[in-house]
Amino acid sequence: MKRISYFFATLMLFSTSAFGIDLGINASYWDTKDSDAAWGMGAKVGIPFFIDRMQIEARAYRFNQDEVALFGDVDITPIDLGLIFYLTMDETVNPYLIGGVSYNFVDTSEIGLDSDFGYYLGAGLELPLGEGFALTGEALFRTAEFDAKSNIDDSFETSGMTINTGLKFRF
């Protein structure tokens, strides 16, 4: 518990004086390398970091892929930590760059897979709809590879494009 408190204290130290919290929800489409595409949902929280145009952001998603060869139904839960850099702020459309690391929890109905780290890089657009909320759209390249837990020398690679669309609320 102490480590978590130190982590959040450090984030507060490096966040800007114009403290604001962004909360978002989104629908996601993930086109993976070793399987059919998956649909999922996600949520995110972000705070300003160093400058007003930069945020540190935590995200969580939930994807399900049915009938993946050898592994059966596969549930993937990426937990992300990354940075967003806005190219413009307070415009009609605000483009941004995004990137970070993920820890991908995986659960299967057949042969088990090991959870693993990955990363994501991409870009997005924010369309303000009024005071305190916006419509967002993103295209990310996301990657992770999961090794089989049994003696089978096989893996499941999820590298591919993710498309997110959702709403963001600023407090």
| Domains of the chain, start order | 20-170 (2.40.160.20)
Note whether 88 and 94 are within 8 A (CB). Answer: yes
pLDDT digit of tens for each residue in the chain (171 aa)? 555 555 555 544 444 444 578 999 999 998 876 666 778 899 999 998 888 889 999 999 988 765 555 555 777 788 999 999 999 887 889 999 999 999 988 777 566 666 678 899 999 999 999 888 999 999 999 888 766 666 666 666 678 899 999 999 988
Q: What is the DSSP letter of 7?
A: H
Name the residue among 139, 137, 123, 122 with its Cα closest to residue 168: 137
The CA distances from residue 8 to 47, 73, 169, in Å, are 11, 36, 21
